[in-house]
Amino acid sequence: MRKRIEEIAETLVRSGQGILAADESNNTIKKRFDSIGIENTEYNRRSYRELLFRTKGAMNDNISGVILFEETLYQKAKDGTSFVDLIREANAIPGVKADRGSFVLAGHPGEIVTEGLDGLRDRLIKYYESGAQFAKWRAVITINDALPSLSGIKANAHALARYASVCQDLGIVPIVEPEVKMDSEPADHTIERCEKVTSAVLKTVFDELHDQQVLLEGIILKPNMVLPGIKCCRQSTPDEVSAHTVRVLKRYVPSAVPGIAFLSGGQSDIQATSNLAAINAQYDMPWTVTYSYGRALQASCLKIWGGQIENTLNAQKTFAHRARMNGLATLGKWDNSQEKSI
């Protein structure tokens, strides 16, 4: 079992590839569809995700795994092929969002905690039987001058570790995603404040993983990059982001972890790619460092698709382009001139 988990984790971060986060819950995909003026129906969700999973250029070359929402894990493409099979045909690994979303953390005004431990084992058994080989749990950390509290961090880290431990017990690789938000209101925090909070979060997460006997060789860490809030008056260059981010990771992430796959968190497409490229081009690190982007892989594709079937090919070209650019960034071989290749 241990060997299998380690192999899956290593495959998820294989060279030049990263993970597509396509696990938007129905509330979140509604926001994405609202932005292009299409209705949030099961049919539209299926059509859009089929477009993504049939993008050969992206899926075969630069996507190692896809995180699915529960509904999508059980869905079929128009021709009856299951999405799980479509993903496997592209030599990528299907995974699933295992948490139940974030809720108010009682006694902690302004903070939230991710729920979903109740019934988790039974859900994971079903997901595994349906083809999911890895899972994801996202803890959302609010950041401002006063928050997060240490007990808020601890509650989220404890849940992440409990989830990771159950996953590994069942032969599933857990993606451990603690996200310090870049857009928590008022979102004017500095990069230094983000470094301090991200440090506390990662330290607590790894303490909890240790306490819950989680095999570090069999997880993927999905953290935020260290960034200023989106309304901070001083935004940072890729050199600054990479310096702050790598310093924190080196201090708090054990080298036993095989891979770090960043979330994009609301960065623009180019920001997410150029920051990842700067990290990989400039630093020697003990882990493979890649992407597990949702918005930064999908935003431009979604916009071009716009719910219109005649736009499918152009939307797929755009998705393949972003995947290729991020694949180059994992190798430290991206520069802005390559963006023109589309």
**Footprint of ligand 5MM on this chain (CB under 6 A)?**
21, 23-25, 28, 67, 97, 101, 138, 179, 263-265, 293-296
DSSP 261: E
**97 or 162: whose CB is closer to ligand 5MM?**
97
**113 or 263: whose CB is closer to ligand 5MM?**
263
In whole angstroms, give the CA distance from residue 85 to residue 167: 22
Q: Which of 97, 136, 181, 222 is catalytic?
A: 222
**69 or 206: whose CB is closer to ligand 5MM?**
69
Task: Give the pair of three-digit tokens for residue 96.
Answer: 């699933």
Task: Give the pair of three-digit tokens for residue 141.
Answer: 């950390």
Contact assessment for residue 172 and residue 4, using Cβ atoms and an 8 Å cutoff: no
H or E element at residue 124? helix 120-129
Angle of helix 42-53 versus helix 295-305 axis, rounded to 10: 110
Contact assessment for residue 289 and residue 315, using Cβ atoms and an 8 Å cutoff: no
> Which of these, 118, 67, 64, 132, lies nearest to 97 by C-alpha position?
67
- 75 phi and psi angles, rounded to 5 deg: -85, 160
Q: What's the min distance (Å) between Cβ of 298 and ligand 5MM?
A: 8
**252 or 293: whose CB is closer to ligand 5MM?**
293
Q: What's the min distance (Å) between Cβ of 180 and ligand 5MM?
A: 12
Q: What's the min distance (Å) between Cβ of 80 and ligand 5MM?
A: 26
Counting DSSP H helices and E strands in the chain, the numbers are: 13, 10
Q: What's the min distance (Å) between Cβ of 97 and ligand 5MM?
A: 6
Distances (CA, A) of 267 to 165, 271, 314: 31, 6, 23
Q: What's the min distance (Å) between Cβ of 325 and ligand 5MM?
A: 15
Residues 6+ apart with CB under 8 A from 3: none
Q: Which of 111, 177, 195, 208 is catalytic?
A: 177
Backbone torsion region of residue 128, taken as left when φ is above 0, otherwise alpha when ψ lies between -120 and 50, otherwise beta:
alpha
Question: Which residues are registered as beta bridge partners of 176?
Answer: 137, 221
**131 or 294: whose CB is closer to ligand 5MM?**
294
**208 or 269: whose CB is closer to ligand 5MM?**
269
Active site residue 177: yes
Q: What's the min distance (Å) between Cβ of 73 and ligand 5MM?
A: 14
Largest CA distance in the chain: 53
Q: What's the min distance (Å) between Cβ of 116 and ligand 5MM?
A: 11
**295 or 321: whose CB is closer to ligand 5MM?**
295
Q: DSSP alpha helices (H): ranges in 132-237?
A: 150-169, 191-211
Cβ neighbours of 203 (radius 10 Å): 16
Q: CB nearest ligand 5MM: which residue? A: 294
Residues serving a catalytic function are: 177, 222
